[in-house]
């Protein structure tokens, strides 16, 4: 692998590797969602549907995990979603990957326990990847992060230790 | 100590799920669920023509009665290629033992056999359905049970007074050979990369299109029912605003309006058709009163076309071909570092992945049509000028 070296996570909380498409930005929403126009640093804009619960759910997860964006949105993720998700000013680390994310996640996490929440499209046509080192969660692209139970996810990750 | 050197570099792979096109490959099966242009109609003649489409070798011919056939080349008898066959009234005759096959693969004659073949009706040469429309031969290489209708495109219907339908398969307007020698996806996803235009086609190479295209645009991206669209806005020096709408329509159609900025809805659309994983052709259709319209659109340097430029000139003034070809025979997608201005590329790849899943799970991919009432596709791409004399032009998207 060449090029980008991700910033290391702070603290010692477990890592939550979070996809964007189908997780924060829904596809054909089946849960209450609002359409927001996103941009970051100008030049481009997109309208996406974000679950009504997303900001609270992300905040709850951020209290349990160190969140790392793992998506094709790259460093745009935090900037673009900062307002709608009420994110902290300092961006969270990110891994710029759209597909075949597991090797990137494992390399980044090292020995630290992790969970990875994403939509099935991230696996292309393949099965959900498995890893002994972490918890892999798939959510429907119409509901996204609404389907994640933070406390349950934290328990499952702690059980890895 | 030096860091970040290339020593020990291990590069990641292409995303073959998206890039490969052969039978049984994930996106190859998506491509096979749509009709594909495979040749110009004037190439289907009584001399058999060898074609390679989506990694499959085929033979195209037109019977003396005018029917077009597209057959697997290996004769069902003992394997001689039908490329060496002779075309007759009703079909093509194998050069080896004379078996004759019609365009649907039926065996009409086995001249060495008693009564021209007592069991010839039980032989079937593998074939594909074809249709002719807009001066092209279209083929359906997919599951027969899921064959959709061949769509129409509104911009190509009902030509205006004096307009011609122009068929072209000579490659990229900006330069390069007719047969493009790298993976098709590198070209298709370039359609959703409007930010390269002011760099590659202006800053690097002079104004390959127009001075307006050298302006860095503000871009919005959106999914459509059939693909992905970008709307690029440029504030022009004369006070007008240019809204340039570019689309990809699944599985491989590019809707890119004239970079010379003809106003209104585009009169050009083109299909990026993979011959195999490392080569493709672009079948472009246009409507214009000038039959030479597309040729005149092609970039030149001091009046010389791309093919006449030296290697040093290509290096000094690279265009789409140089940029996309140099990404590799098949680009290493997993090495890419998508960033702010790659939203369109990322959206396209994601929508491709969705179609792969849809097909793998037994569904239909985006935009296939089965009802005649839905078979005409509206093309939205174009150059729309606002606050100027063309502001009232054809409905901007």
pLDDT at residue number B394:
40
Its domain, for residue B264, covers 148-386
Are the beta carbons of A99 and B11 separated by less than 8 Å? no
pLDDT of A2? 55
pLDDT score for B198: 86
Same domain, B209 and B289: yes
The CATH number of the domain holding residue B126 is 2.102.10.10
State whether B352 and B282 are in the same domain.
yes
Nearest to B176 by CA among B283, B272, B298, B327: B298
Report residue A107: phi and psi, to 5°: -60, -45
Q: Do A121 and B353 touch (CB under 8 A)?
A: yes
pLDDT number for residue B207: 72
Give chain A positions within 8 Å (CB) of B346: 72-73, 98
Same domain, B186 and B95: no
- Residue A107 is predicted with a pLDDT of 93
**Of B220, B335, B356, which has the smallest distance from its Cβ to A2's Cβ?**
B335
Give the per-residue pLDDT at A139.
98
Tell whether B159 and B82 lie within a shared domain.
no
What is the Cα–Cα distance from B42 to A3, expressed in whole angstroms? Answer: 49
B15 occurs within a structural domain: no
Chain B residues contacting A via beta carbons under 8 Å: 9-12, 15, 17-18, 26, 195, 216, 218-222, 334-335, 337-343, 346, 349-350, 353-354, 356-357, 360
Among chain A residues, the shortest Cα distance to B332 is held by A1
How high is the pLDDT of residue B397? 33
pLDDT of residue B393: 42
Q: Are residues B96 and B167 in the same domain?
A: no
Chains A, B: CB pairs < 8 Å: 84
Query: Do the Cβ atoms of B220 and A75 come within 8 Å?
Result: no
Count CB atoms within 10 A of the CB of residue B160.
9
Q: What is the pLDDT of residue B337?
A: 86
Residues of A in contact with B221 (CB under 8 A): 44-46
Closest-CA distance, B258 to chain A, in angstroms, reads 22
Interface test with B, best of A39, A125, A128 (most B CBs within 10 A): A125
Same domain, B319 and B283: yes
Same domain, B105 and B154: no
Task: Please tell me the predicted confidence (pLDDT) of residue A41.
Answer: 83
Does residue B327 share a domain with residue B245?
yes
pLDDT of residue B267: 93
Shared-domain flag, residues B53 and B191: no
Task: Give dist(CA B122, CA A114) in Å, integer.
Answer: 60
B3 located within any domain? no
Any domain includes B28: no
Is the pLDDT reported for residue A4 higher than 80?
no
Residues of B in contact with A125 (CB under 8 A): 17, 26, 353, 356-357, 360
In a domain, B368, yes or no: yes
Binary contact (A43, B218; C-beta < 8 A)? yes
What's the mean pLDDT in A84-110?
Answer: 94
Q: Which of B3, B4, B84, B33 is nearest to B356 (CA)?
A: B33
Q: Is there a contact between B181 and B326 (Cβ–Cβ < 8 Å)? A: no
Name every chain A residue with its beta carbon within 8 A of the beta carbon of B335: 1-3
> Which of B25, B189, B335, B338 to mutate: most A Cβ within 10 Å?
B338
Question: Do B321 and B191 fall within a single domain?
Answer: yes
Provide the b/e sequence for B204-232 (b: ≥16 CB within 10 Å). bbeebbeebbbbbbbbbbbbbebbbbbbb
Q: How many structural domains compose chain B?
A: 2
| Last residue within a domain, chosen from B77, B98, B132 | B132
On chain B, the residues whose CB falls within 8 A of the CB of A96 are 337-339
Give the domain-ending residue among B70, B101, B132: B132
In a domain, residue B6? The reply is no
Report pLDDT for B214.
82
Q: Kindly report, residue by residue over B165-201, the tens digit of the pLDDT.
A: 999 999 887 778 899 999 999 999 999 999 998 888 8
In this structure, are B125 and B248 located in the same domain? no
For residues B180 and B101, state if they share a domain: no
Cβ within 8 Å, pair B338-A98? yes
Q: What is the mean pLDDT of chain A?
A: 93
Question: By CA distance, what is B354's nearest residue in A?
Answer: A121
* From A1, A72, A121, residue closest to B10, measured CB to CB: A1
Q: In whole angstroms, give the CA distance from residue B26 to residue A90.
A: 40
Tens of pLDDT along chain B (397 residues) come to 998 899 999 898 999 999 999 999 999 999 999 999 999 999 999 999 999 999 999 999 999 999 999 999 999 999 999 999 999 999 999 999 999 999 999 999 999 999 999 999 999 999 999 999 999 999 999 999 999 999 999 999 989 999 999 999 998 877 788 999 999 999 999 999 999 988 888 888 777 777 888 888 999 999 999 999 999 999 998 899 999 999 999 999 999 988 888 889 999 999 999 999 999 999 999 999 999 998 888 888 888 888 899 999 999 889 899 999 999 999 999 888 888 789 999 999 999 999 999 999 999 999 999 999 999 999 999 999 987 555 444 433 3
List the single residue in B9, B341, B356 with the smallest CB-CB distance to A43. B341
Residue with tokens 């729309």: B384
Element (H, E) at B87: strand B86-87
Q: Does residue B394 belong to any structural domain of this protein?
A: no
HEC string of chain A equals CCCCCCCCCCCCCCEEEECCECCCEECCCCCCEEEEEECCCCCEEEEEEEECCHHHHHHHHHHHCEEEEEECCCCHHHHHHHHHHCCCCCCCCEEECCCCCHHHHHHHHCCCCEEEEECHHHHCCCCCCCCCCEEEEECCCCCHHHHCCHHHHHHHHHCCC
Contacts of B365 in chain A (CB under 8 A): none
Which of B235, B343, B344 to mutate to test binding with chain A, by most A CBs within 10 Å of its CB? B343
């Amino acid at each position: 692998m060449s090029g980008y070296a991700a910033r290391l996570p702070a603290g010692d909380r477990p890592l939550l590797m979070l996809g964007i498409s189908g997780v924060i930005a829904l596809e054909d929403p089946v849960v209450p969602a609002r359409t927001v126009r996103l941009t970051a640093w100008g030049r481009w804009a997109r309208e996406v549907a974000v679950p009504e619960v997303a900001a609270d759910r992300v905040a709850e997860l951020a209290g349990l995990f160190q969140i790392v964006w793992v998506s094709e949105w790259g460093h745009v993720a935090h900037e673009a979603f900062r307002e709608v998700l009420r994110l902290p000013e300092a961006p969270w680390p990110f891994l710029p990957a759209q597909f075949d994310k597991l090797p990137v996640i494992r390399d980044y996490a090292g020995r630290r326990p992790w969970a990875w929440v994403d939509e099935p499209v991230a696996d292309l046509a393949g099965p959900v990847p498995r890893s002994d080192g972490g918890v892999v969660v798939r959510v429907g692209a119409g509901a996204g992060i609404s389907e994640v139970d933070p406390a349950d996810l934290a328990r499952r990750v702690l059980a890895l230790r | 100590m030096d860091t970040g050197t290339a020593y020990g570099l291990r590069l990641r792979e292409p995303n073959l799920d998206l890039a490969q096109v052969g039978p049984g490959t994930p996106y190859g099966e998506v491509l096979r669920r749509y009709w594909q242009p495979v040749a110009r109609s004037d190439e289907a003649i009584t001399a058999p023509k060898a074609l390679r489409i989506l990694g499959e070798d085929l033979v195209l011919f037109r019977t003396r009665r005018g029917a077009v056939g597209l057959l697997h080349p290996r004769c069902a008898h003992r394997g001689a290629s039908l490329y060496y066959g002779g075309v007759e009234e009703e079909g093509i005759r194998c050069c080896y033992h004379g078996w004759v096959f019609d365009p649907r693969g039926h065996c009409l004659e086995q001249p060495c056999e008693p009564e021209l073949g007592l069991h010839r009706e039980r032989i079937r040469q593998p074939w594909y359905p074809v249709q002719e429309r807009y001066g092209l031969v279209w083929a359906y290489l997919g599951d027969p049970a899921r064959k959709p209708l061949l769509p129409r495109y509104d911009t190509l219907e009902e030509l205006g007074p004096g307009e011609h339908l122009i068929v072209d398969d000579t490659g990229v307007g900006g330069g390069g050979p007719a047969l493009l020698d790298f993976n098709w996806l590198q070209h298709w996803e370039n359609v959703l990369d409007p930010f390269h235009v002011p760099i590659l086609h202006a800053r690097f190479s002079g104004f390959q299109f127009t001075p307006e295209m050298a302006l860095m645009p503000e871009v919005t991206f959106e999914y459509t029912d059939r693909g992905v669209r970008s709307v690029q806005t440029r504030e022009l020096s004369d006070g007008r605003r240019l809204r340039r709408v570019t689309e990809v329509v699944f599985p491989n159609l590019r809707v890119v309006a004239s970079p010379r900025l003809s106003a209104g809805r585009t009169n050009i659309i083109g299909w990026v058709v993979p011959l195999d994983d490392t080569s493709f052709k672009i079948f472009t259709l246009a409507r214009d009163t000038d039959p030479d319209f597309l040729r005149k659109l092609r970039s030149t340097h001091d009046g010389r076309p791309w093919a006449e430029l030296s290697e040093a000139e290509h290096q000094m003034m690279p265009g789409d071909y140089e940029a996309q070809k140099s990404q590799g025979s098949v680009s290493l997608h997993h090495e890419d570092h998508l960033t702010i201005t790659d939203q369109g590329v990322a959206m396209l790849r994601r929508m491709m992945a969705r179609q792969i899943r849809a097909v793998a799970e037994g569904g239909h991919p985006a935009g296939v049509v089965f009802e005649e009432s839905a078979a005409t596709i509206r093309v939205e791409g174009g150059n729309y000028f606002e606050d100027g004399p063309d502001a009232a032009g054809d409905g901007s998207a």
